[in-house]
Amino acid sequence: MNRQIIIIILLLFPFFLSAQEEEKNSGQLHGNFETIVQTYRVDTIIGIDSADVPREKALSNSYMNLTYTKGKFSAGIRYEVYMNTLEGFDKRYDGHGIANRYASYTSDELEITAGNFYEQFGNGLILRTYEEKTLGIDNSLDGIKLKYKPVKGIKLTGIIGKQRLYWTLGPGIVRGLDGEISFNETFKKLAKSKTHFLLGGSFVSKYQKNLNPKYNYPENVGAFAGRINLSRGGFIISSEYAYKINDPSADNSIIYGYPIFKDGNALFVNASWSKKGIGFLFTALRLDNMSFRSDRSASVNDLSINYLPAITKTHTYAFPAMYPFATQTNGQVGFNADFFYTFKRKTLLGGKYGTNININFSQVNSIKTEKITINPDAEIKNLDGYTSDFFAVGDELYFRDINIELHKKINKKFKISLIYMYQDYNKLIMQGKDSILHADIGVFDLTYKISSKQSIRFATQALLTDKTQSGEKNDFGDWYTGMVEYTYSPHWFVAISDQYNTGGHTNPVSAHYYNFAAGFVKGANRIQIGYGRQREGIVCAGGVCRFVPAASGFNFTLTGSF
């Protein structure tokens, strides 16, 4: 802990220096902060008994970032306080302290960072450290990062470090190299070419000591990836292929392949064409055994080195987002297609202001596998892996989503949005229970502008599930919701809503989830208070999810940036 004090003093040093030079206008100190407080109470109607209420009655997650910049030098710290951690987040966060600190030097050619850093190679298939506060994810590396740009358009990155695991570091060392060349920037002849061409490659390796006397786990596990990005006119094609060498882990149940532990691979393709008023997108992702963590026994959201994006559409309304897709890192093959179009003004469908539509379709299946036998030894025979045909699609459906969105400004006062969504969701794969759930979802959203500063918004949504074999409604059954929100620009908002659940197979009790919220915004600061019931559910961002238990009580959020 003495180390932390020294670090703070070092971090403060430039501040004191700059304080003396205030008149020269040299350094800048900026930051942000957030406090979330939630109180908990017994609410048996939504299944919260006294045993479910945390003993603290109120829990809170908070942090503050401070960044000091002076010319090419910058340094920052983040102080985090979890007293105690909010329900639904990992309780290993309980406590407080300096969770993040770094210093860096950046010039046009060179960037050096020491301390905690975030970095992504290519699309992140073999390396991405990032922070997602809503999920409680912070897998930052603590170590050294170097970036070097020897000539225009060429960028080389090297990293080494250990990953954050709540208040400690994971056991593995992560090392990586990445190179990228943008041909149009590097070669003058291509500077004016209409075709833009980018190539990149990366290598990442983790080291973790093998302490298992029974299995000869590889202590060094490497992964490499190559990527390409091509654009011309309205076309953009970007693709990355990644390969990971023998990586036994808790995720893949220490699976064998050939010649020893199973390798992994991933192919990610994004292709789009668009011009003013119209856009097409096609995305595909195939994964086989691609979980990659700096501790082979880690699970859930801990110590992921790479990022495997969910390619399905991220929905923002509550009901379309109720059964979200989570990336299946052990194996999946999926694709997503989108069509964006604006019906022009003064046409039949466009009306006076034009109409926007988005049609989206995505489907994810298992990969096709065939079991192999390598080990005659009965004891480890069950670890035998499989072979998989790269171009075949497995029979098991994981997720399917067909949706259409329509947005239209009717006149100066009214705007509407309409969404219909057809969804199939494999609960067994995603949540480990039951089987496929089908849902039909509708959203209607209307904004009415009362005056130049005041507006009122009504949103109603419905989610209807199919019936199980026993004749009950699937999972929690049907949901209906209504919401009214009043805003007074630029400072105030008040919202009131109720979600009504009919109950179903998982929980036959019907319930109202009412909520009230009010807030005030000024500049970059925002304060919000709320009271109500939070339904049990899954919160996701980018294919990574966390489970949130039902809660009832007051909540308070304060965010600010300076």
Interface with other proteins, residue 229, by CB under 8 A: yes
Q: Which stretch binds other proteins (CB under 8 A): 213-221, 498-506, 524-532, 546-554?
A: 524-532
Nearest distance from C-beta of residue 471 to other proteins, angstroms: 36
Q: Is 16 helix (H, G, I), strand (E, B) or coil?
A: helix
- Cβ-based nearer residue to other proteins, 276 or 433: 276
The whole-angstrom separation of Cα 481 and Cα 462 is 6
- Cβ-based nearer residue to other proteins, 373 or 451: 451
- Cβ-based nearer residue to other proteins, 208 or 327: 327
How many residues bind other proteins (CB under 8 A)? The answer is 97
Q: Which stretch binds other proteins (CB under 8 A): 19-27, 430-438, 499-507, 510-518?
A: 19-27
CA angle 490/492/493 to nearest 5° reads 120
Tell which positions 373-432 bind other proteins, by CB under 8 A.
none
Tell which positions 171-200 bind other proteins, by CB under 8 A.
182, 184-185, 196, 198
Binding other proteins by CB under 8 A: which of 87, 94, 131, 384? 131
Tell which positions 251-270 bind other proteins, by CB under 8 A.
268, 270
What does R_g of the chain's alpha carbons equal in angstroms?
26
Instruction: Copy the structure tokens of residue 372.
Output: 């192999």
Interface with other proteins, residue 150, by CB under 8 A: no
Q: Are 483 and 443 in contact (CB under 8 A)?
A: no
The DSSP code for 261 is B
Instruction: Copy the structure tokens of residue 11.
Output: 């971090």
Q: Are 507 and 478 in contact (CB under 8 A)?
A: no
Interface with other proteins, residue 168, by CB under 8 A: no
Q: Which stretch binds other proteins (CB under 8 A): 58-66, 254-262, 392-400, 463-471?
A: 58-66
Binding other proteins by CB under 8 A: which of 58, 64, 156, 548? 64
Residue 433 CB-half CA count within 13 A: 6
Q: Are 448 and 414 in contact (CB under 8 A)?
A: yes
Q: What is the 3-state secondary structure (H, E, C) of 22-85?
A: HHHCCCEEEEEEEEEEEECCCEHHHCECCCCCCCCCEEEEEEEEEEEEECCEEEEEEEEEECCC
- Cβ-based nearer residue to other proteins, 101 or 505: 101
Q: Are 35 and 60 in contact (CB under 8 A)?
A: yes
Site string for other proteins, 441-480 (x = CB under 8 A): ------x-x-xxxxx-------------------------
Q: Are 294 and 306 in contact (CB under 8 A)?
A: no
522 strand-pairing partners: 525
Q: Are 364 and 398 in contact (CB under 8 A)?
A: yes
Instruction: Name the strand (E) or helix (H) holding 10.
Output: helix 2-20
The whole-angstrom separation of Cα 287 and Cα 336 is 15
Interface with other proteins, residue 278, by CB under 8 A: yes
Q: Which stretch binds other proteins (CB under 8 A): 68-76, 204-212, 383-391, 508-516?
A: 68-76
Residue 454 CB-half CA count within 13 A: 4
Site string for other proteins, 308-337 (x = CB under 8 A): -xxx--xxx---------------------
Binding other proteins by CB under 8 A: which of 91, 347, 489, 512? 489
- Cβ-based nearer residue to other proteins, 314 or 460: 314
Nearest distance from C-beta of residue 550 to other proteins, angstroms: 24
Tell which positions 94-123 bind other proteins, by CB under 8 A.
97-98, 106, 118-120, 123
What is the greatest pairwise CA distance in the chain? 78
Binding other proteins by CB under 8 A: which of 115, 385, 542, 553? 542
Q: Is 355 left (phi over 0), alpha (psi -120 to 50) or beta?
A: beta
